[in-house]
Chain A
Amino acid sequence: MTYFLQLTINAIALGSIYALTAVGYSMVYGILELVNFAHGSVFMLGAFSYYIFAVLVGLPWYLSFLITFILIGIVGFAYDRLTLLPLRRTNQPKFTGLICTLGVSIVLQNLVFVFMGSNTRQFPTFFEGRYLSLGPFNISFIQILIVCLSVAIMVALSLFVKKAKLGVAMRAVAQNSMASEWMGINVNSVVSLTFIIGSVLAALSGILSCMSFRSLDITIGSTIAIKAFTATVLGGIGNLGGAVLGAFIVAMAESYTAGFISSDMRDLSAFVILMLVLLFRPNGLLGKAVQKKV
């Protein structure tokens, strides 16, 4: 039982990181009906950016965070404007956009590879090795930080989407972009905003994830991409609450698989869930089949 609970605690920290990543996936999907396969690369890019500024340049952590967020925000903005917007402008089929996100993903990964190489690096962290002992449980400070930060960001984000004018506009664009345009919303600006928020969240989760695992290499993006994608599909793609729920389920499954079966199989659990969801509940747990009134 103690072992089970310890695994659960680990899963909650892991789930927080997946949730931050999955929400970005889900936001972009919600607004463009496009799975953004470059999301994992942005996650990796964010972690590298932090590493470069904090370790190689030697800036203090808060500046490294700040610069990374600005930089990755610009990357997210430019990514949409330079590659996806021209496709939308010329009414290319959605599939073309999908291929485009794969292309961007490959380009980003290889850019980092060219400049940083493929070796694994040690990532800086906070509260080096310190943890809280609660009876038989050990919870590291960094895990607590990750969970608190994620919860705070999720709450802020859902308030924004629910209450703020631009948040409501985002939902409107997601539901009907033509009609939004006719109401005076500049749809491209709203899409840009979505990409910026999604990318910054990916960068943040990339950094937090590396702080938790203490290592960084160029492949971290592809692993997280699969898990966050699974979480998003499981929760019901386009549904932010669903993405969070899905993220925690994926993290639990992964943690228990690693703990009770074999840690070699941990990554397998996400694939198994993905297949089961697609087979039995393709709309996801919280996803609704779309109904239209004529």
Chain B
Amino acid sequence: MFLEINHLDAYYGRLQALWDVSVAIDKGEIVALIGSNGAGKSTFLKSIAGSIRRLNGEILFDGRNIAGLRPDKVVRAGIVMSPEGRQVFPRLSVQENLRIGGFVHKNSDLEAGYERVYELFPILKERASQAAGTLSGGEQQMLAIGRALMGQPQLLMLDEPSLGLSPLFTEKIFELIMEIQKQGVTIILVEQNAVMALSIADRGYIIKNGHVVESDTGAKLLESPDVIDNYLGRA
């Protein structure tokens, strides 16, 4: 297994947010994490990213336990997160945002990184010197993903990439996510937009109140009655 998470508990202070979560991800997969607001999806990603102080259980990445590692060390290990709400640096230019994304790499590696990102998101090249805060929501999302790619991740974690985007833009973002997968990047996709996420995911996990309640291939989950009733919102 590329990433193997065994019996993970996560806490915010005394408050427990994840209970006994086990997730396994193969190299090259897109794995979707589905659940309603507050189910623990973001907490799950933050646990991997090293932002949750109190954890039990193990997070094996390529066989090495990275649970409790500092966030910058996690990035150096090859796991990068594009956070919920995009969180681009509003007063840095687009290019500077990308430069920060490549912070752990040598300056000489940056050129190739910019080229890769600008090829995926040509609009960012046009806006390279513009302050990120002046971009539209969709463009900011592209920047957030591009910035994460600058870290040359083997595992890319996307937290709600469709949040606040128009349906058209959402579709575009999902196409690009598949494109990134084709480049050999393993992807964890956290989404409230369950239909879109499960239709591009190889496998999916359903999280409810901090527990994994169901896991299967993306296609099967899309047909599961429980999923249809609770997460897909179809009448």
Q: Which residues of A contact B (CB under 8 A)?
A: 165, 168-169, 171-172, 175-176, 178-186, 291-294
Which residue of chain B has the shortest Cβ distance to A175 in the bound complex? B89
Which of B72, B85, B87, B151 is the one whose CB lies under 8 Å from A186?
Answer: B72
Please tell me if the beta carbons of A176 and B72 are within 8 angstroms of each other in the complex.
Answer: no
Decide yes or no: A165 and B103 within 8 Å by CB, A179-B83, A294-B164 being known contacts: yes
Which of A169, A175, A178, A294 is the one whose CB lies under 8 Å from B90?
Answer: A175
Please tell me if the beta carbons of B51 and A293 are within 8 angstroms of each other in the complex.
Answer: no
B182 at the interface (CB under 8 A from A): no
CA distance A175 to B96 in the complex (A): 13
Please tell me if the beta carbons of B51 and A181 are within 8 angstroms of each other in the complex.
Answer: yes
CA distance A175 to B89 in the complex (A): 6
Distance in Å: Cβ of A20 to nearest Cβ of chain B: 24
Distance in Å: Cβ of B81 to nearest Cβ of chain A: 5
Contacts of B147 in A (CB 8 A): 183
List 13 extra interface pairs beyond A168-B92, A293-B90, CB under 8 A. Answer: A168-B96, A168-B99, A171-B91, A172-B89, A172-B92, A176-B89, A178-B51, A179-B83, A179-B89, A183-B80, A184-B72, A184-B103, A293-B137
CA distance A165 to B99 in the complex (A): 8
B140 at the interface (CB under 8 A from A): yes
Please tell me if the beta carbons of A175 and B92 are within 8 angstroms of each other in the complex.
Answer: yes
Decide yes or no: A175 and B72 within 8 Å by CB, A180-B100, A182-B81, A185-B100 being known contacts: no
| Interface hits, B24-83 → A, CB 8 Å | 49, 51, 70-72, 75-76, 80-81, 83
Contacts of B91 in A (CB 8 A): 171, 175
CA distance A28 to B90 in the complex (A): 19
Contacts of B85 in A (CB 8 A): 294
Which residue of chain A has the shortest Cβ distance to B157 in the bound complex? A182
20 A-B pairs in the complex with CB atoms less than 8 angstroms apart: A165-B99, A168-B96, A168-B100, A172-B96, A175-B89, A175-B91, A176-B87, A176-B89, A179-B87, A179-B89, A180-B89, A181-B72, A182-B83, A183-B75, A183-B80, A183-B147, A184-B104, A186-B72, A293-B140, A294-B164
Per-residue 0/1 for B144-177: is the Cβ within 8 Å of any A Cβ (1 yes, 0 no)? 0001100100000000000010000000000000
CA distance A178 to B103 in the complex (A): 14
B108 at the interface (CB under 8 A from A): no
Please tell me if the beta carbons of A178 and B83 are within 8 angstroms of each other in the complex.
Answer: yes
CA distance A179 to B140 in the complex (A): 14
Distance in Å: Cβ of A284 to nearest Cβ of chain B: 15
B107 at the interface (CB under 8 A from A): yes
Distance in Å: Cβ of A170 to nearest Cβ of chain B: 11
B101 at the interface (CB under 8 A from A): yes
Interface-centre pick from B85, B90, B100, B103 (highest chain A CB count, 10 A): B100
Distance in Å: Cβ of A169 to nearest Cβ of chain B: 6
Contacts of A294 in B (CB 8 A): 85, 164
Please tell me if the beta carbons of B71 and A182 are within 8 angstroms of each other in the complex.
Answer: yes
Contacts of B76 in A (CB 8 A): 184
Which residue of chain A has the shortest Cβ distance to B75 in the bound complex? A184
CA distance A181 to B90 in the complex (A): 16
Interface-centre pick from A169, A181, A183, A184 (highest chain B CB count, 10 A): A183
Contacts of A172 in B (CB 8 A): 89, 92, 96, 100
CA distance A290 to B150 in the complex (A): 27
Which of B80, B107, B140 is the one whose CB lies under 8 Å from A182?
Answer: B80
Decide yes or no: A171 and B72 within 8 Å by CB, A180-B100, A182-B81, A182-B83 being known contacts: no
The 8 closest A-B pairs by CB, nearest first: A184-B75, A184-B104, A179-B87, A181-B71, A175-B89, A186-B72, A172-B100, A184-B72
Contacts of A182 in B (CB 8 A): 49, 51, 71, 75, 80-81, 83
Contacts of A291 in B (CB 8 A): 90, 133
Contacts of A186 in B (CB 8 A): 70, 72
Which residue of chain B has the shortest Cβ distance to A184 in the bound complex? B75
Contacts of B81 in A (CB 8 A): 182
CA distance A178 to B85 in the complex (A): 12
Please tell me if the beta carbons of B103 and A183 are within 8 angstroms of each other in the complex.
Answer: yes
